[in-house]
Chain A
Amino acid sequence: MLSEKVKEEIRGLFKKYRTKRSACMAAMQAVQREVGHLTEEDMREVAEMLGINPVRVHEVGAFYTMYNVQRPVGRYHIQVCTNLSCSLLGAEHIVNVIERRLGIKVGQTTPDNKFTLSTVQCLGSCGTAPMMQINDDYHEDLTEERVVEILDGLE
């Protein structure tokens, strides 16, 4: 069920746009910010608030890669860029270091639900490659030592 806080946030979005449907992306972002992922029920409620068919919300959830649709992720979602500039400067090595440190493979979550590891496309940080994003934060100019330090520093 959507919390009152999220509902209020969604209602606040309506004045930004000409149609309620335009608020779909931001509404789903608000839900994900609070819950961590999107459930079937929450998406249905979003659709109801926007006055659109639930399938319209579903298709948005399926199209954009950052929505975690029925896919819970760990408290820290580590996303390593493996596009060209990062790869040229050792992104694969960074991925290996993280896999070894956390004992998981790309696409997996640690058993304590703390970390999920993903690889992603270019994050617009190519001049400070290699890089990764953990939740909202960018970590750039990575080295093996730096990665270990960052991981160990997370509560």
Chain B
Amino acid sequence: MEKVLLKNVGKPDSHRIDTYLAGGGYEALKKALRMDTEDIIQMVKDSGLMGRGGAGFPTGLKWSFIPKDPTLQKYLCCNADEGEPGTFKDRSIIEHDPHLLLEGMAISCYAIGADTAYIYIRGEFAFGARRLEEAIAEAYQKGYLGKDILGSGFSLNIHVHRGFGAYICGEETALLESIEGCRGQPRKKPPFPALSGLYGKPTVINNVETLACVPTIISRGAEWFASIGPEKSPGPKIFGVSGHVNRPGLYELPMGTPLREIVYEHAGGIRNGRRLKAVIPGGVSAPLLTEEQIDISMDFDTLAHEGSMLGSGGVIVMDDTTCMVKAAYIINRFFSHESCGKCTPCREGTTWMTSILKRLEYGEGRPGDVELLEGLCGNIFGRTFCPLGDGAVMALRGALRNFRQEFVYHAENGRCMV
């Protein structure tokens, strides 16, 4: 497949505006500024683009919820929090092709009528934040940002807002709280951000990769985009492969590429001639799949149908030396560390699950621990304020469903069977 999202990554000075312009950059913005905003939104709808931040919500539809009243202040927030373990795709766009993101943001802002946008970038990406600031300065200088962009009458300011260590700020309403200078705890929905978001104003929140798809949709057309991959969730997709493979890294492939092909062809198969044990297909919140389940199309619908999810497209590969109790402990420790503390089932439940998994892992498990874990899952799932707690449960249930005997062995024998 012809690369769209990573096409500039690897070019010398790929982050510079001159490199971007030489490759036809900002032509899509020029085209968009001559279009009717309604037509742009329709085009994004027709392209079938689904949000790449994890939830897979149709992007054009999200934009269409923004009120048309031109007197209302509106905002776009780009979600560059990239916190889901196993995910490292947005960072690549930010560091190596920031203008692709800025162009996508400018077109999106024009379409929804926003004159101010924020890029919410996780605090640890200090280098990425610097790259974005430099790119924004270049874009102002060349007239692609600022007042009256290219004589169109449309003006836009983009600001970088750095997070400072909190996974929950990737959740869109927690992200808004954080920009407002508060603790990042999710807000009650409704009202949805499209009506009452940042500072109570209509706001669109989109992931970096989602926004980076927009220039191509404008320049190549909705039909072209929709022709890539499965009909229901089309387009190019960046898969990030990590763990026990020969060639970990980012692979831009059509949505719907089989997981087996990603692991064995693109990522070069399992290291040291070992056997595959399990794959997490979309960041640690996504329930794992076993060797027998990986002949599966990597798209939102298919994975949801199989009881997992595409999430962020972060593929974590584990070979047969991996202890599933340990993996589950590490994943759960993450969720309890990152629980924002707002609601009891998540705050207390993930803490409890982690302490049980820890004692199982350290050989101090007790008979009945596995049943206790299963009971806790049932008391957390569907009862939390935001999906963080659900993510913790889905991950653990995935491991228990497929490797229950390993957990039981730990509980009864105080050691690992792997």
Chain B residues closer than 8 Å to A122, beta-carbon distance? 83-87, 334
Chain A residues closer than 8 Å to B243, beta-carbon distance? 84-85, 88-89, 126, 129
Q: How far is A66 from B179 in the complex, measured between Cα atoms in Å?
A: 16
Q: How many residues of B contact A (CB 8 A)?
A: 53
Chain A 22-77 interface residues, beta-carbon cutoff 8 Å to B: 22-26, 28-29, 50, 52, 56, 59-60, 63-67
Chain A residues closer than 8 Å to B124, beta-carbon distance? 66, 123-124, 133
Chain A residues closer than 8 Å to B165, beta-carbon distance? 64-67
Q: Does A96 contact B (CB under 8 A)?
A: no
With both beta carbons as reference points, the residue of chain A lying nearest to B123 in the complex is identified as A66
Least Cβ distance of A18 to chain B in Å?
Answer: 5
* Residue contact B240 to A83, C-beta cutoff 8 Å: no
Q: Given A23-B181, A24-B181, A126–B166 Cβ distance below 8 Å? A: no
* Residue contact B184 to A127, C-beta cutoff 8 Å: no
With both beta carbons as reference points, the residue of chain A lying nearest to B341 in the complex is identified as A63
Chain B 72-118 interface residues, beta-carbon cutoff 8 Å to A: 82-88, 90-91
Q: How far is A16 from B340 in the complex, measured between Cα atoms in Å?
A: 27
Interface segment, one of B53-61, B314-322, B348-356: B314-322
With both beta carbons as reference points, the residue of chain A lying nearest to B80 in the complex is identified as A124
* Residue contact A88 to B88, C-beta cutoff 8 Å: no
Most buried by A among B84, B126, B280: B126
Chain A residues closer than 8 Å to B90, beta-carbon distance? 124
* Residue contact A26 to B162, C-beta cutoff 8 Å: yes
* Residue contact B87 to A126, C-beta cutoff 8 Å: yes
Q: Identify which of A56, A64, A85 contacts B316 (C-beta below 8 A).
A: A85
With both beta carbons as reference points, the residue of chain A lying nearest to B185 in the complex is identified as A63
Chain A 95-139 interface residues, beta-carbon cutoff 8 Å to B: 121-129, 133, 136-138
* Residue contact A83 to B127, C-beta cutoff 8 Å: no
Q: How far is A63 from B125 in the complex, measured between Cα atoms in Å?
A: 18
Q: How far is A99 from B307 in the complex, measured between Cα atoms in Å?
A: 41
Q: Given A84-B331, A127-B88, A18–B244 Cβ distance below 8 Å? A: no
Chain A residues closer than 8 Å to B340, beta-carbon distance? 63
Chain B 313-361 interface residues, beta-carbon cutoff 8 Å to A: 314, 316, 318, 322, 326-327, 330-331, 334, 337-338, 340
Q: How far is A17 from B118 in the complex, measured between Cα atoms in Å?
A: 10
Q: Does A21 contact B (CB under 8 A)?
A: yes
* Residue contact A127 to B82, C-beta cutoff 8 Å: no
* Residue contact B167 to A121, C-beta cutoff 8 Å: yes
Chain B residues closer than 8 Å to A19, beta-carbon distance? 180-181, 199
* Residue contact A124 to B316, C-beta cutoff 8 Å: no
* Residue contact A29 to B327, C-beta cutoff 8 Å: no
Q: How far is A133 from B244 in the complex, measured between Cα atoms in Å?
A: 22
Q: Does B248 contact A (CB under 8 A)?
A: yes
Q: Does B249 contact A (CB under 8 A)?
A: yes
Q: Given A66-B164, A85-B242, A127–B338 Cβ distance below 8 Å? A: no
Q: Identify which of B86, B159, B161, B322 contacts A25 (C-beta below 8 A).
A: B161
Q: Given A136-B126, A138-B127, A64–B85 Cβ distance below 8 Å? A: no
Chain A residues closer than 8 Å to B250, beta-carbon distance? 127
With both beta carbons as reference points, the residue of chain B lying nearest to A128 in the complex is identified as B248
* Residue contact A67 to B164, C-beta cutoff 8 Å: yes
With both beta carbons as reference points, the residue of chain A lying nearest to B178 in the complex is identified as A25
Chain A residues closer than 8 Å to B331, beta-carbon distance? 84
Q: How far is A63 from B91 in the complex, measured between Cα atoms in Å?
A: 24
Q: Does A143 contact B (CB under 8 A)?
A: no
Q: How far is A21 from B182 in the complex, measured between Cα atoms in Å?
A: 8
Q: How far is A88 from B179 in the complex, measured between Cα atoms in Å?
A: 34
* Residue contact B166 to A65, C-beta cutoff 8 Å: yes
* Residue contact B330 to A124, C-beta cutoff 8 Å: no
Least Cβ distance of A46 to chain B in Å?
Answer: 11
Chain B 151-181 interface residues, beta-carbon cutoff 8 Å to A: 159, 161-167, 178-181
10 A-B pairs with the lowest CB-CB distances in the bound complex, closest first: A65-B165, A24-B181, A66-B165, A122-B85, A126-B242, A85-B242, A64-B164, A136-B126, A21-B181, A63-B183
The chain A residues found within 8 Å of chain B, CB to CB, are: 16-19, 21-26, 28-29, 50, 52, 56, 59-60, 63-67, 82-85, 87-89, 121-129, 133, 136-138
A-B contact pairs, 23 of them (CB 8 A): A17-B179, A22-B181, A24-B181, A25-B161, A59-B183, A60-B181, A63-B166, A63-B184, A66-B124, A66-B165, A84-B280, A84-B331, A85-B243, A87-B326, A121-B337, A121-B338, A122-B85, A122-B87, A122-B334, A126-B86, A126-B242, A126-B243, A129-B248
- Known interface pairs A82-B330, A121-B337, A124-B91; 20 further A-B residue pairs with C-beta atoms within 8 A, sorted by A's residue number: A17-B181, A19-B199, A22-B179, A26-B162, A29-B162, A29-B164, A52-B181, A64-B123, A66-B123, A83-B330, A84-B85, A84-B86, A84-B330, A122-B83, A123-B124, A124-B90, A126-B88, A126-B242, A127-B241, A136-B126
